[in-house]
Each structure stands twice: as C-alpha cells, then as structure tokens.
Structure 1
Amino acid sequence: MDKLIKARTAELRNERNRFAALAFVWGDILLELDGDFRIVFASGASDGILGRRPQQLSGHLFHSLLAKQFQPLVTEMLQVARRRGRMDNIQVRFVHPDEQLSPPVSMSGYFLPDLGDHFFVALRVAINALPADVARSIKRDHATGLLDEESLSKVVTERLVAQRETGTEHKFTLMTLNAFDPLCKRMEQIERDELLASVGAFLRAHSVAGDTAGRLASNQFGMLHRPDVRIGELEQRIADCARDADPKGVGIEVSSSVTDFTAELIPPGDLARGVLYSIRRFCDRQEHGFTFSRLMGQANNLVNDTFSAMHDFGARVDRLKFDAAYQPIVRLPSAEIHHFEVLVRFYNDDGKLIPTQQLITFAEQVNMVHRLDLAMMRRTIKWIRTQLDLGLTVRVAVNVSGHSLENPDFCRSAIALFERNRDALGQLMIEITETSEITDIDGAAKWISRFREFGIEICLDDFGTGASNFRYLSALEVDYVKIDGESIRQSMKSGKGQAFMRSLVDLCHSIDVEVVGEMIETDEMRELITKAGFDFAQGYLFGKPEADISLYWRDAKTPRQ
C-alpha cells in the first residue's frame, strides 16, 4: 500500500510539475517532447496549425511535422534549450497531412531535466510576425536560409523598435569564417549545401526571434542576439562542423566581433538608415572611420553612435555649419577662369579635415545627402549674392548627388529656392556626381529640365568611367561633361587611347556638350588634352581649392599661361 501511495504521489507530483511547466509557456497548442523529440503529450487547437487532433499527435517525431526548411533550425533551437533551459520565440511552419503549409507559427518553450529531460513547447499563430510590408520585402541567401544584408537591416530595425517595450538589450555579432571559401571549393556540392544549411541553422537559432541573422558576404555573417548568448561556444560548434565536413580534416578558423545594438529614442526612419550603415561599417571594419562627436575611438553602441553622428551631421548641415573651398575651372588654351567648383569641407572634433569621399559615402548611406546638397545650394547662392554686392560676377558649380535627383523633396525644395533667388541664378551651375547611381533616369531628366528653365547650366561629373555615363548622356540634357583625370592618364599612354579620347570629345561636341578635363597637374597633360580638343581643364596646375578666391579672381583678368 505504501508503495502504491508513493507511486501515486509521484505521479501526481509529475502531473503538477508538468502543468506548472506548461504554464510557463503560452499558445494555441501545448506539447511535451521526450529526449528524442517525440511527442508524449498534446493539448489545444492543433487542427489549424498541425492539421491533426491532439490525440493523433502522440508518438510522432516533432521534426516530422515541420516543413523541411525549418527542421535544421528547430533541431538547433532544441539543442540550445537543452543547454540554456529555454528557447525564445522563433518563426516556423508545419506541413499538414495534405501537404499544405501552416500559417507562420511562433514556437517557444522550456527544457526541464527534472522531468525526464523533457521539452515543454508552446505554438501560437502569428506571434512576432513582421509588418506585412517588411515581410514581403525579405530576401534570403538560398544556401544558408539567412537574410541578405538589406533584409537583415530591416528585421534588426523592427526588433530594435520592439525591444523598447520590453527594455531588452541586444548585441550584434559579426562572425567571419576564415578560409571558408577554399573549404567550400574542395567539398562536394551535397556536403557544401549541408554545411551552409548547418551554419545558417546555428546562427538563426541563437538570434532574436530565431530569424535575425544574415549572410553579409561569402564568409561573413551577422546576428542580433541576447547578451547571454555564448558566442565562443557557437564559434566552436561551427568550427567543429566545418572540420568534420572538410575532406582534408583541416576546417576553418572562426572569429567574431561584438557591439551593442540598442534603439533608445531613435525615430524609426532614422533608425532604419542607421542600422544599415552600422552593419556595413561593422562588416568593413571601418565602423569608426567617419568621426563626429560620437564616432570616435571604441564605440560602445554602434547604432546609437551612428545615430548621434547622423544627428550631428544634420544639425551642422541645416545650420550651414561647414566650410567651402573653390577650385577654378579654366578655358583652354588660354587658361582664363571660366567658373569655380565649390567643395564642401567638414572637420572633426580635433580640427582635422574629414575626407570628402568618406563624408559623401556616409551621407548617402544614411539617406541624408539630399540635405547636404540643398544646404550647399543655399550657401552658394548666399555667397554669390555677397560677390555681386562686391561687384564681382562669379560663376560657381555646386555638386548634386545622383541620389538627390531621385528625391522629390530635394528637387521641389531646390526649385522653391530658385524661385526666391532668380536674380542670382545666372552665376549658378549644377554638377551631377555619380557616387550614387541614378536608377530613375526619366524622373531625373524631368527635374533637370525644370532646373534648366531657370537658366542653370548642368555638368555631368566623372564621365567616361562607366557605361552608365553614356546612358546618362543620351537621356539627360547637360551642357558639360567632366572626364576623370585617371581615365585621361590611362588613355594618353597609347596612340589607341588618345584616339579614343579624341573620339569621345568629338561625340560630345556633336551634341553641343563641352568637355572638362579633371586632375590636370602637369604641362604635359595640359598639352595632351588641348590637342584632344578639351574645352576646359581643372587641377592643381591651375589652382587648388581655396576658401578665398580673391587672388584667383583678380588674376582672372589676366590669362594664366
């Protein structure tokens, strides 16, 4: 009798513990799995999610109910739960007996060694689902099932916005698989596919919501995760998996860099731009190359530091708190100054000049270059007015990114600025730069036509360095093209190259477009481009960018030899 009472007491205790464990999780379906992941208990509305009633689930291997692409992920998540005691929400889908896929399902649960090493799992429809527009735009790396770079940035942004409600902090890890490409080349296709799928499953399983990991390059991976994820153990598991798959048994070396990713009070739109920029800089190991007040030294939180730089940059731009330098463009062969190109100058907190290309790259990647371009227009028109008051008629070309031409707000603001300053526009020119490729050429052409209605001449920068330039030349109404100095130097090395350059100049002249040669630094280059028919030249031979043009402008009355 005592044995019977003890057995019954133990049974009741187990039942109590089982339902206590199930109370920790929530969902439409509650499952208990044994150590082999076989279902031993099921309760809830399972028909809609699994296509089976609860009593039909007992004895089934849990993996057999999952869609194939989610099986590696769930296997890894359960292994994580075995070590950590629980697993966070992950998105999965199941296959019904009629082979129809279930809707997206959120899965979470606990592992309790005191109850026979069993897992207690909850399934619920549409928990942690991304907004519909984000979900539709998601793209994945086929081999690993991980998000691509832009998709990862979108999902990270959504997770960071969501974390504000819970106060949870997240970290972002960049993982590099050194010697991974050579390993893949010496593996058979099927083994390579299995290895890539395993790497993807490992990273997804440890990421926030089980799907905030991405493949950023052939051997680089990024993952947003909770601070308690043991990155060292994950590195070792991937390294062991790669060594086992390597025909030579050599494997790879896995290295990681970790930074904080939190959102604080960053507006969602700015956060989205900052996350993408942060991921790219982190991958390039240049995350601190662009420095304002918060992008200096070792960043404690890359997203917040990036946003601080964005805020600082925007404030300086909007208040015109930057400098400008003016470089002359001269007519050939006389070398008489025709106009100046105005160049933006920003300085970091130590007073050192920030390289212009680095600055423009930052502005474009965080979608703020249109604000800089508009600020430069405002400053330049103000400067033109100052020169007119001094009795000087100075023509100045201001740079406008191709990215800005695709921004209707920028274009409308520019036109409003022109409307208010018609009397100064005779001295204003626009130089279109191709640091960002123009994708909507028809739209850009319409805006350029509107600009030209104000009498503003247009120059196309860096012409001849890419096939897209010829597409621009045929679609956009421009007055000048500027040929890159490196292209000129390479072309002038041979007779064939010189003939090509003369043909290019002749093509431009045939459609009433004048040609400027950039980076002309020697008398030899000046002579070569003059013979090739160039109309204008720019470079240190004729003058460096200067904040004060008074010397240049006085000298302009006397042709430079």
Structure 2
Amino acid sequence: MSNAVRRLAGFAFTSADLLLEIDLSGAITFVLGAAQAMVGKTEQALISGGWRFLIDADDRPLLEAMFAALDDGARRGPVQVRLAAGGAISLTARMLSENPGVICCAIAPAAKPALAPKAGQALHDRAVFEDLAKGLAEAARVTGQDFELAMIEFNGLEAVRKALTPPEAATLDQQVAGALRAEAQGGGAATHVEGERYALLRERGEAAEVMAKRLSRAIRTSDQAGAVTAAALAVPIENPGAARFSKALRFALDDFAREGIPDSPPASLAEAMNRSVRRTLTRAGELGMAVSQRRFTLAYQPVLALKDHSVSHHEALVRFEDGADAFAMVRMAEEFELIEELDRAIAEQAVRQLNADRTGRLKLAVNVSGASMISSPFIEGLTRLIERNPKSKGRLIFELTESSAIDDFDRANAHIQTLREMGSMVCLDDFGSGAASLGYLQRLSVDIIKIDGRYVRDLASEGRDAALVRHIVRLAKDLKVRTVAEMVETAEIEEVVRREGVDFAQGWLYGRPMAIPEWPDTREAAAPLPARRMGTRDDWR
C-alpha cells in the first residue's frame, strides 16, 4: 500500500470503522475495514449480497431516498439505520466527482440511541415527535448545535394516493417516509402533521428550497407519483432549552396543520408561535362564546354488550357549528381553561336528552377532562345537576380522558367515588393510548376501561396489538373492571374482541354517531363500513 493510499485510509478510519462502495444497482463493489465486527458479515458476504439484505426492511426506504438524491460531490448523513440482524449503525454517504455512479459509505457504531420510529411505523406519531424534539433541543443547548423545524407540504400527494391500489399507496407512503427521514436529524426526527403536511427537525445550514427540490426528486422516482412536488419552510429554533419550547413547537405545528405554509414565513419558532397564539386567541374567544351560548350539539353512537348484542348505552359526542374539529376545539378549551364550562354544558345537554327519553332505557356516556375531574366546583355542580334531575340517576356514565393530565390523584379518585355513589359509572377512555394509562388504573377506582381504537381496528391480523388487547382484558378481569373495544368496524374484529373476553363494543359496525339516539337491529351481521384512516379523530368526544 502506497503512502498516499495509507494516509487516505487512515484519514477515513479516524471517523469510520467500515468503508463500502455501492453502485447504482445496489450492489456492494468494495469493502474495507471491520466488516464482521460492525455488521456481522464477512467482506465476501457483503459483496455477494448487496446493501439491501444488510439493512432492516423498515429503514431501507430511508437509504433508498438518501442514495437517490446524491449528486456528484454531495455528502448525506450521518443517519442511524438498523441492521437486519439486529443492532444499529451510523452511515454517511458521498458520491465522489472523480468516480460518478459509485456511492461511498462510511459506517461507524451508532453513538446514540436510534431516532428511528418503532418497528412497523413509517414515521413517529405527533406526540412522540414532540417528545423527541424536546430531547434534541436539550442536547443542542449543551452541544451548541443549531436546529430548525422544517415544515413540508407534498402538493398533489393525496390525489396520487387515491388513484393507486392499496399496495401501491402503501409503497408510496413508505417512499415519502423514507425521503423525509433522509432529511431529518439522525434519520428519524420526522412526523406526519395533517393530510399532505409533514414536519421534521434538522440542523441549520442548507436552504429549505434545496431540501424541497431533493424531496420532490425522491418522490418522482415512482412513475405513479410524478405529479407530487414538495414545498418547504424552515423555522430556526432559538434558545432551544427555554421552557416555552414545547408550547411553541405545538402551536407552530397546529398552525401549520390548519393553514399550511404561509406566504410570509416567520423568522423564528418564537414568531411562528406568536402568530399562532394570536389566531388561537381569536378562535378561543369564539369557542368561549360557543360554549356559553351552547352553540354545539351532541351526536350519539351506540355501545353494545357483546354477550347478547343488546345496546348497553350511547356515547354522546360533541359537534360544533360550522364543522369545527372537535378534538382541536377540546384541546383549545383545555389550553385556555374553558374545559370545565364545556364539560358542564355537555353534561347538562345529556341530562336534557335523558329527561326527554320516554322509554327509560337510554343511558349516556359523556367525556370529562382530567382537569374537570380534579375540580371540586365542577363535581359539586354535577351532583346538583343529577339531584335536580332524578331521571338521570344511574343513567350517566363519565368517561375520563387523558387529554389533560391529572396532577392530584387523591382528589380525582375521591370525586370519582362521589359520582359512583350517585349511581354513575366511570370509565377510563382510550386506555393504552398514553403512558399514563396504567398509572390511572392503579390509582383510580373505576368501573370500565375503553381500549384505544388504534389497538382494536387491526386485531384481525393477530399481531402485537392482539397480544396487547389480550393482556388488557386479563388485567381488567383481575381488577373486576369491564372493558369496551372502540373502532370495531368489521364482523371479523367483533369476533376477535368477543373471543378475547371484551364486554362491550363500539364502532361503525353498529352505526355512526347520529343526531338522535338509535337502537340498531344488530341480531344480523352489519354490512361492513369503510375503515377509517389511522390518525383521524372524527368520533372524538
């Protein structure tokens, strides 16, 4: 080995343990370094197998997008990717001008925990992304790195997806996720915001327009996706360790979900937050008027007892004027301390519906925020409401949501027992959706838990979700607590939840939310209804 080559190899190995050369077909044409130690393969096995067999299937779209966007002389990474055999590596790719068509990859141990989404997930969900962003911001405060929030809109993506078959659409979604992860910090800090809108965190430096062109090119590698073009906005994150960071990030993403990329981009995340706050305050004022003037209605969805298909009760779901998103409105009510008034107004309307029921068989479940459940004035108001309306006694169920965290479990549990003593059952809503679910069940004595629909709707596949539901039901039975499965949308899923021992079921199989409570004839199998896309909250509250 000549001195020049030896020096070059020494230079390379100061930052990497394994060097690969990959051609445009995906074949590994050259290997140098600690192959066995780094990836568990011999040099000969790597050359004969190609790079794809080496990488976990969930991370292949990331590298495909990264390689496809390389120009002569360009460098991408480092990104963390998982190996098919287990473990993770840090990979940096470069295409040398002197050797076009050959991708040089430097591989080193993954220095930090992988930022990749969980197995089977294309991208992080919004909550995990926000937590991840908080962690990166704290790290940046120590290391001095500068990060920015990039918001990306894939114009035409929804139209293209609708024109594809389900397998083709799934492939396109994987391609989009891979392209986004290739741009994100560590190959993982990206999320789906709404519709065609996505967000990611990355280090500052490159113009957002350059990234948008690269994303457009990555998606156009599919013939069917030729009409998709990306637009991007990057917002600097200043003072990343500040306490306002999490709120600023949430407001900025909420605003992006509603408004898209603005014509006049904000100069910083703080400015993006301020704009969002101004708009939100206006909407909060409108929400306050809607609540105080009772400008909302309730829709009713049946909940069935699986033992005999009889209607156990109906859940009352709030619907605002002008089709406003209920989930967003309730979240805003919590943010601006309007939730007690909203929960009280919904309970009052539910009681009026019970008073109007001449059959005596109607029972209604209404949602109550954690913030309301720890409020003594709210519980006192509920008890007076029930006492004044004896027809409602024993016919109200209160579903406790996790959307606002409980910070006083002793008081919350005392209030729950007060409601139970008045004949009302209490249910933990969306059990399993948040990290606090087990803690709630441990510290609160309730009658029912409602299993989060995200675990229910794919039960027929008998995967990890089925095992999770099985354990939740077993835990509930040990605690003498009944269970409700939501998002039961097919007879097949109903059969699975019945077999697992779930007590009640709710979902489109039995009917959509209606303006008037109905008792569907469920003795015969209901016609299957179109499954909802994950992430929608159209039945929320």
**Under a length normalisation based on structure 1, what TM-score does the superposition of the two structures give?**
0.47
